[in-house]
Structure 1
Amino acid sequence: MCTYTRGQFPLPHRLSRSRNKGKARKVGIKATPEDRVELNQVEIRAINVETPQWIAGLWDFCIKILSELDKHGWEVSVILCNDEFIRDLNNRYRNMDNPTDVLTFPQLQIGAADSHVIGGDIIISLGRSAENAHAFHQTHEKELKRLVVHGMLHLCGMNHDDTVSNESVGDLSEMLAHQERILQKHSEEPLF
């Protein structure tokens, strides 16, 4: 279970980057009215790519987005990979034999005490995200943020179906409009 009661908080050095190559594992702490603490857990791994220097910044951003989405006690895995790896997953699970920028695999399994939720996995292709950044005239950092928020919204059960129209976002699905609001709010958060 991922809850701590008063006096059982993890030591700050245990919240730092893992010594395991290719992994960063930390927890975000949120106080609840019952004076308990529910932790969000994010594990980040690099598969078939070099582990980025900015992995800790990515972890911070993921924790902030989970908090923004009012998710507590969630466990999320983020995998950074190459085009070949994501292409294989895209082919295997979606019958699409091409790489994509992001895939999500929601789990939404609630633990025994209903305080721990396995949200699922977000797979991001670093190659495809760099290509998107170039094509959209954005920084790679901004594109990675977009993919993380997009993946988190899918893990929360949102999809692209419902269209909304308003002056600030134009015609977008409700999910994409929500994504843009979150990105706007967190636009100054450093990742790199």
Structure 2
Amino acid sequence: MIEFETKDVEMPLLDLGKVEKWLGEVAASHGRRIGNLNYLFCDDDEIIRVNREFLHHDYFTDIITFDYSHRDRVGGDLFISLDTVRSNAEELGVAYERELLRVIVHGLLHLCGIDDKGPGEREIMEANEDAALEIWETIE
């Protein structure tokens, strides 16, 4: 089950039914099933609060993923700062919706076991994000 919530921001204008179907297909492409996923869209104030309180990091980020996956069932709480997504989209010269989709699937890919912090891992994550965005284009 996938839930989408907001804190101090408006819900992004996305077809959430399509997003749910997409995430299910991406998870399946990695041999996983969707468990309980909770996406919380928030602002920079909330993301830095969460980052400081739970991860002891003192910087802004676009997504924080808490992994509660078990075996092949992915689950977790995913906090997404819409402020940071918007500024990253502007900086990269990409559409806001496209960057938001990339961040949404980025969290799911972490839950599927793909990391992006070690040597060469960022490129692997980006390739998987690109493959997931190609799946997005096929969803009706």
Q: Name the TM-score, length of structure 1 as normaliser.
A: 0.62
Which of 79, 83, 86 is the matching residue for 1:127? Answer: 83
Matched, 1:64 2:14: no
Deviations 1:10-59 (A, max 9, x none): xxxxxxxxxxxxxxxxxxxxxxxxxxxxxxx100000111234x25x134
> Does 1:182 find its partner at 2:132?
yes
2:93 partner SS: coil
Q: Give the structure 1 partner of residue 5 of structure 2.
A: 45
Compared with structure 1, are the counterparts of its residues 123 and 59 closer, same or farther at alpha carbon in structure 2 (3 Å cutoff)? farther
Identity of aligned residues (%): 28
Letter in 2 for 1:163: G
The one-letter code of the counterpart of 1:134 is: E
Conserved? CA contact 1:47–1:79, under 8 Å: yes
Alpha-carbon separation, structure 1, partners of 2:17 and 2:25: 12
Matched, 1:102 2:53: no
In structure 2, give the amino acid aligned to 1:130.
Answer: R
CA distance, structure 2, for counterparts of residue 137 and residue 158 of structure 1: 25
Letter in 2 for 1:128: T
Unpaired segments of 5 or more residues in structure 2?
none
Residue 163 of structure 1 pairs with residue 120 of structure 2: yes
Q: Which consecutive unaligned segments of at least 5 residues does structure 1 have? A: 1-40, 165-171
Return the offset for 1:63.
Answer: 2.9
Greater fraction strand: 1
Which structure carries more relative contact order (alpha carbon 8 Å, separation 6+)?
2
- Asked if the contact 1:133–1:139 (Cα under 8 Å) also holds between the matched residues in 2, the reply is yes
TM-score normalised by structure 2 residue count: 0.83
Of Structure 1 and Structure 2, which has the larger fraction of its residues in helix? 2
Note the alpha carbon deviations across 1:85-131, whole angstroms, 9 max, x for none.
00001112222222211110010146xxx9xx461011110111110
Question: Which has more radius of gyration?
Answer: 1
Query: How big is the alpha-carbon RMSD for the aligned residues of Structure 1 and Structure 2?
Result: 2.4
Given that 2:5 and 2:40 are in contact with CA atoms closer than 8 Å, whether structure 1 keeps it comes out as yes
